[in-house]
Amino acid sequence: MGSPPSPTLPPSRGKGVSRRAALLSAFAVAACGRDARSQQSIPARGPEPPLKSLAPFPVGCAVQSDQLADPAYAALFTRHFSQLTPEWEMKMEYILRPDGTFRFDASDRLAAFAKTHNIRLFGHALIWYAQGPAAFERLEGEAFANAYRNYILAVAGRYRGQAVGWDVVNEAVTEDGSALRDCLWGRKLGEFDYIRLAFQYAREADPAAPLFLNDYGLDYNPAKRATFLKLAERLLKAGAPLGGLGTQSHLHADLAPGAYARAIRDLASLGLPIHISELDISLNVRGLNFASRADLEQRQARLYGEAAEAFAALPERQRFAFTVWGLRDSDSWLRREKTPNAGADGPLLFDSAGAAKSTFWAVADAVRS
């Protein structure tokens, strides 16, 4: 899975050939095994161009600190990505020990790696309904409120000046979009106020980083998307420093063509920066019977292309980052799910050996134009 030698760019051919197009065509020539001048070419899978060189916006990937110890993983990740999201080690489940003390060893390793390789660090996630640990459960009243503020100040404050943004509150809207989720934070501080306060404290900790509201299912479920946008507007009206919207984008290959692009346009309607924050496209589709895996993979690649094109079509000030939720298929959380065929899923841009798949080329082609 090493990085192939990158060929030199072809001599500039005058106006109209963008750097990205030239880069991709240079790799295409290399991929064909023969010099284009000879007009003899044998199509072959060649060295893929660095995605971060093609995309006019940051491209991110979810990473776990132990993965960086693998030189092949680290080489592939640093070749293609300009932003790192800690997959789980910057969340409360890792940082907050049962006795209420904090551990930052893993998140610090990820932050140090990002700094060494000049990669943006995106903080994920300060407050999540799914992680309300015992250390908080046993607190009441002012003690709870103080611990809530202190946690956010400690974590967001630690990466102040390095984190380029934060998922401040993750998944605040119910699955069906009918309400705000019931959770420990809402029960103790108020269903809206825990969200508003989280943004307030994150801004107190970090005066500059854009602060995101992040959720899933905003592509499949227009009702959930509408509730999510209403929450965003309510936060803005309340003076919360909401600086962006994260759409996780955990998709299945059977999502109807065009639905994702519509969702992105809708989410962008508030004018806030958009983060495609956790994109993966599962081949384990529900309900539809496809003729073959090849058919599914074709739809999957087309959907990756749609997602990249929809994001690329946003105004530059709204293109925060395009992040995939894992590097290689074998790294995907979906492989760890207890669902049928999880082990055979191929949701990402690189296969388990680190080779670029049709999904990679669909994104590369979509972002280069």
Least separation in angstroms between residue 69's CB and ligand G3I is 13
SS3 365: helix
Closer residue to ligand G3I, CB minimum distance, 170 or 359: 170
- State the nearest-atom distance from the C-beta of 8 to ligand G3I, in Å: 39
What pairing do the DSSP bridges indicate for beta strands 163-170 and 274-282? unpaired
The region of 84-92, 146-154, 303-311, 354-362 touching ligand G3I under the rule CB under 6 A is 84-92
Distance from C-alpha of 24 to C-alpha of 5, rounded to nearest angstrom: 14
Cis peptide upstream of residue 125 (ω within 30 degrees of 0) = yes
Q: Does 91 bind ligand G3I (CB under 6 A)?
A: yes
Q: Which is nearer to ligand G3I, 49 or 246 (CB)?
A: 246
Contacts of 122 (CB under 8 A, 6+ apart): 60, 83, 84, 85, 163, 164, 165, 166, 167, 275, 321, 323
Nearest approach, Cβ of 170 to ligand G3I (angstroms)?
Answer: 6
Toward ligand G3I, which CB reaches closer, 65 or 318?
Answer: 65
What is the 3-state composition of the chain as percent helix, strand, coil, each rounded to the nearest 5? 45, 15, 40
- Of residues 53 through 82, those in contact with ligand G3I by CB under 6 A are 64
Active site residues: 171, 215, 278
Our finding on whether 278 is near ligand G3I (CB under 6 A) is yes
248 lines the binding site for ligand G3I (CB under 6 A): yes
Question: Cβ(224)–Cβ(176) under 8 Å?
Answer: yes
- The answer to whether the beta carbons of residues 293 and 247 sit under 8 Å apart is no
What is the distance, to the nearest Å, from the Cα of residue 275 to the centroid of all Cα atoms in its chain? 7
Q: Which of 35, 93, 175, 182 binds ligand G3I (CB under 6 A)?
A: 93
Give ∠ CA 253-70-1 in degrees, rounded to 5. 60
Q: Decide if residue 87 touches ligand G3I (CB under 6 A).
A: yes
Closer residue to ligand G3I, CB minimum distance, 64 or 174:
64
Residue 359 lies near ligand G3I (rule: CB under 6 A):
no
Phi, psi of 50 (to 5 degrees): -60, 120
> Given candidates 102, 104, 192, 333, which one binds ligand G3I under the rule CB under 6 A?
333
Residue range at the interface with ligand G3I (CB under 6 A); choices 12-20, 85-93, 152-160, 198-206: 85-93
Taking CB atoms, the residue at the shortest distance from ligand G3I is 333
Q: Of the two residues 76 and 218, which places its CB atom closer to ligand G3I in the complex?
A: 218
Q: Which of 86-94, 188-196, 223-231, 294-302 is the region at the interface with ligand G3I (rule: CB under 6 A)? A: 86-94
220 is an interface residue for ligand G3I by CB under 6 A: no
Which among 15-23, 88-96, 154-162, 195-203 is the span making contact with ligand G3I, rule CB under 6 A? 88-96
Tell me the three state secondary structure of residue 281: strand
Give, as ranges, the residues between 156 and 175 that touch ligand G3I (CB under 6 A). 170
| Residues composing the chain | 369
Rank residues 278 and 297 by Cβ distance to ligand G3I and give the closer one: 278
Closest CA to 18 of 49, 40, 46, 59: 49
Question: 3-class SS at 216?
Answer: coil
Nearer to ligand G3I, 23 or 125 (CB): 125
- The helix/strand count (H/E) of the chain reads as 13, 9
Q: What does the buried/exposed string (b/e) look like for 9-37 if buried means 16 or more CB atoms within 10 Å of the residue's CB?
A: eeeeeeeeeeebebbbbbbebbbbeeeee
Residue range at the interface with ligand G3I (CB under 6 A); choices 83-91, 266-274, 312-320, 344-352: 83-91
The letter for the amino acid at 36 is A
Chain residues that interact with ligand G3I, rule: CB under 6 A: 64, 87-88, 91, 93, 170, 216, 248, 278, 333, 336
